[in-house]
Amino acid sequence: MAEGLGPRLAEPAVRMRRSSSIVALPAPVAGGSIDTLRRFINVRDDRDWQLLVAWLVAAFRPRGPYPVLVLHGEHGAAKSTVARLLRALIDPSASPLRSDPRNPHDLMIGASNGWIVAYDNLSGLPTWLSDALCRLSTGGGFATRELYSDNEETIFEAQRPVILTGIEELATRGDLLDRALVVSLPTIQESERCSERELWADFERLRPSILGALLEVAACAVRELPTTHLDATPRMADFAEWIVAAEPALPWAAGDFLASYSGNRGEANELTIEESPIGHSVRELAQRGFEGTAEDLLERLEGIAGEAATRRREWPKSPRALSGKLRRIAPNLRALGVEVEFAKESGRGRCDARAARPGAR
């Protein structure tokens, strides 16, 4: 809660829970500008700046879904500093950035004791963590045995804004990329660096007015949301609708956010296909067109990929495994102009896959 908001109530209508790591927000000051924040944020261009601001504004929504903000870049790109700055504006904490959790239980404990979940300097995401972050973004729970009991469960359920930082590209699975805003931070030149002491002193001086500007944007979104409708519905539609509703108070033209978001989604689809062991081969085969069983498709893809690719552990070794990998990347292929259709073959329990020629993009 912000400091200086008046006396405490003896019997508050809503009971507030405060964990030991929570730090007070400053009292917001009216009349500030979000553009003031840009002097502290190392971004490549206007599009990435809009995505970062959109993530901040979305964090004010009382309910999700919330996008997962993925910050990556080389050493010296100020990834950790940007993550700390963003969290300080919404959910300041005595421990703003954490190392990766050991298991889903640790993840949900962290989500239960703060509003923003931020993991720093990750070298990769194991499958269980990628899946768990998807549930945290759009809503999901985790059940564990209650302490000192044999048959009682404790349920943790949460939706939270998430920040991930790392040198390598962290979100590579299609389901997490569908929920992510991926921003690559450029390396800061030595001549442009300043000390942490100077940066944070300047930021703390301006933080109340930046917070006030963010609150004014959130108020605009609340006011305009009932009459806001999107012509097309992207993934994370509630998030996109909220930002479009806030655009009258944002420092860019109407429609700019959706263009930036669409570009980011396109890059995410490309990354998903690149990371898939079969993605490149499927796209190449789709240029010629294919119709047949999954068994036929696997044989054709093996011919395109070559022996080195097919000997990798990730390469599907059976038609059923191929169908599973195809279903995982089918939405990303479709967004890039490649249609993959599945049809059960009567009485044989196999799938036919049909890839149409991609349309012009």
| Phi–psi pair at 295, nearest 5 degrees | -65, -45
First and final C-alpha spacing in the chain: 48
Nearest to 123 by CA among 161, 166, 82, 93: 166
Task: Give per-residue pLDDT as tens, 18-51.
Answer: 777 778 889 999 999 999 999 999 888 999 999 9
- Domains, the chain, ranges and CATH? 34-270 (3.40.50.300), 280-355 (3.90.1150)
In which band, very low, low, confident or very high, does the pLDDT at 221 lie, cut at 50, 70 and 90? very high
Is the CB of residue 170 less than 8 Å from the CB of residue 118? no
The mean pLDDT of 111-130, rounded to a whole number, is 89
The mean pLDDT of 64-83, rounded to a whole number, is 90
In which band, very low, low, confident or very high, does the pLDDT at 145 lie, cut at 50, 70 and 90? low
Task: Give per-residue pLDDT as tens, 317-328.
Answer: 888 888 888 888
Q: What is the CA angle 6-11-16, rounded to 5?
A: 75
Most confidently modeled of 211-215, 259-263, 329-333? 211-215
Burial class, 177, CB count within 10 angstroms (exposed 0-12 / middle 13-18 / buried 19+) = buried
Residue 162: the pLDDT is 95
**pTM of model > 0.85:** no
Measured CA to CA, the distance from residue 158 to residue 238 in angstroms comes to 17
